[in-house]
Structure 1
């Protein structure tokens, strides 16, 4: 067992990038930079080991196969540490946070994901505060789930979304209250935090071809939907619909294409394009028509959570009926469930 209390996993992303002639790019040697920049401030925080993935991942290059690589050190050394920090690029951080919440279902230790808008190597950056706060939170025994820490907000990992490309406050959880704030004091919402679970970790692999996403837009044709649904290896589709779950179902070919795909065993989940709110399939006839066609209402799941949850369920070789039932159930606080 390591003498350190925490394991920090540096996956890549802006936080550890350096300038090149082509723009910012991942660079090795991040631990030395962290310890030199943060210096004595680390003395009052939990001790940590830092593991750097090789090769580092620019988060824009992330695939579902990377989720296992990120989770592997945690799975292998879970008993050795009191908590974990994952440093990740912001572009796909919400996808990885969602995926890890399912892969590490039943956590009884903190796992904090963070990144930054400006690299730690820059004179003016947001990385220092993110790192210091993440280390402190990863040592808090009240936290037993996957969280995202960004700009002073502690968010449930499978509820967060990136909302801003340039502001320091890049992330929020529009359909879920903040789990805590980091200001002069650290304030945790203990009434909202998940209780310690019994780990039932997933150690399998993800097939990057298994799940796709299609956004409904004015004038969409069934031929495009057919092209997506006919992709080799596709097992599930996240359909991003309008408002509370509406789509142009007067196009009978579109509806028939969905029905045929469901009949073939493809799982289709309906989530809203809106940042706030969710799918209420019985509100309008256009939404209820999707449900009658076999499309599963996705409640208030974020796109990232729906995508990751489907990957997790498909990778367990569950049947379409089992997946449909699981998509209506909350495993780790990822959605509201109707009573």
Structure 2
């Protein structure tokens, strides 16, 4: 019987109703007691890392989770992290970069309703997380939710209330769970082992979502405060290229200042391709911005935070950003950077 460490961080799954709304209050042990079948699957030990609504989780909490997993790595066969759904995809992506290539599973799960309620998805999700963490096919950082096992770099929350809250974007699910059985979809990849923890992050990253008529001077206001800018463009990666080209020049000023500029798309599915239209092609060719292609926004943000402290210049950052980690990016043929 495998030995799994459960790390609890709060979230909806652990909430109780109060006069001011739902607040995470249930401890890791209380969560575990609601699903006694877990004890039939594996040996479980628990730790309460913190007790937060996930809207309050930030990079320092990612470090806390990653450190807890790293310090306990040799003593357990896998890990289950209970977490709020609102920022779970960010945490899963961040852990994928902070603890890369793990042979042992690091499984995040949560719920849309508190596990204390009669109508809840919490008990099923928690049981499924332990089923997957205890299975022979489990590896890496994943989110287990509504019977799906998704890579941490590919999962995204798409629904605010439905139990089918998460989807894997641009990449197949690793496995599916039905009737308390795990059905692998993809084989174990080669080269897995004990991850070398990389806990340093630079949170000075800003995401700018473009709207028609956006004023380019906002870029000048942001530049002193941030080390990287992620621009969510239109469609396949279009950016405004008005007659004055002010927006493009402001992007160029970021690059000239030695700061990272990454272009992605507001569209969830199928990714960017800045070569398609002149408005994207010009700004990429003229200023050398980095294109995120089919990466999720959560992966783009957390990979950028992960790489900023490790890359001495923009060339090194570009190379590392375009190097796939846990299938986070699919590059078109001929794109710079190792495949």
Q: Identify whether the pair has TM-score above 0.5, normalized to the shorter chain.
A: yes
> 83, 98, 101: which one pairs with 2:78?
83
Q: Distance in 2 between matches of 1:125 and 1:318?
A: 48
Whether 1:135 aligns to 2:94 is no
Q: Distance in 1 between matches of 2:143 and 2:189?
A: 14
Q: Distance in 2 between matches of 1:167 and 1:28?
A: 22
**Structure 2, gaps ≥5 residues long:** 334-339
Q: Distance in 2 between matches of 1:222 and 1:71?
A: 38
> 24, 27, 42: which one pairs with 1:26?
24
Partner of 1:164: 159
Q: CA deviation at 1:74?
A: 0.4
Q: Distance in 1 between matches of 2:268 and 2:7?
A: 30
Q: CA deviation at 1:34?
A: 2.2
Q: How does the TM-score come out when normalised to structure 1?
A: 0.93
Q: CA deviation at 1:180?
A: 1.4
User: Deviation string for 1:251-274 (max 9, x for gaps)?
Assistant: 511100101110111111111110
Contact 2:202 2:306 (8 Å CA) reproduced: no
SS class of match (2:52): coil
> 240, 245, 261: which one pairs with 2:237?
245
Q: Distance in 1 between matches of 2:31 and 2:152?
A: 27
Q: CA deviation at 1:196?
A: 4.8
SS class of match (1:230): helix
Q: Tell me the matched-pair count.
A: 330
Partner of 2:249: 256
Q: Distance in 1 between matches of 2:42 and 2:172?
A: 27
Partner of 1:38: 35
User: Deviation string for 1:197-226 (max 9, x for gaps)?
Assistant: 244423433233x21111111110111122
SS class of match (2:113): coil
> 267, 270, 276: which one pairs with 2:260?
267
Contact 1:255 1:290 (8 Å CA) reproduced: yes
Q: Distance in 2 between matches of 1:10 and 1:43?
A: 17
Q: How does the TM-score come out when normalised to structure 2?
A: 0.93
Partner of 2:336: none
Q: How does 1:256-295 map to 2 (within 5 A)?
A: 256-292=249-285, 293-295=287-289
> 319, 325, 332: which one pairs with 2:313?
319
Whether 1:187 aligns to 2:183 is yes
Alignment root-mean-square deviation, CA:
1.6
Whether 1:235 aligns to 2:227 is yes
Say if 1:334 and 1:244 are closer, same or farther in 2 by CA, change over 3 A: same
> 64, 78, 82: which one pairs with 1:69?
64
Say if 1:84 and 1:30 are closer, same or farther in 2 by CA, change over 3 A: closer
User: Deviation string for 1:38-93 (max 9, x for gaps)?
Assistant: 22x12321111111113x12110121121101111101111010011111100000
Q: Distance in 2 between matches of 1:212 and 1:200?
A: 28
Whether 1:53 aligns to 2:49 is yes
User: Deviation string for 1:291-317 (max 9, x for gaps)?
Assistant: 122211111011000000000101325
Whether 1:220 aligns to 2:214 is yes
> 13, 16, 20: which one pairs with 2:14?
16
Contact 1:5 1:82 (8 Å CA) reproduced: yes
SS class of match (1:101): helix
Contact 1:65 1:205 (8 Å CA) reproduced: no
User: Deviation string for 1:96-148 (max 9, x for gaps)?
Assistant: 00000000012111111111000111122110000111001011232221111
Contact 1:144 1:195 (8 Å CA) reproduced: no
Contact 1:4 1:49 (8 Å CA) reproduced: no
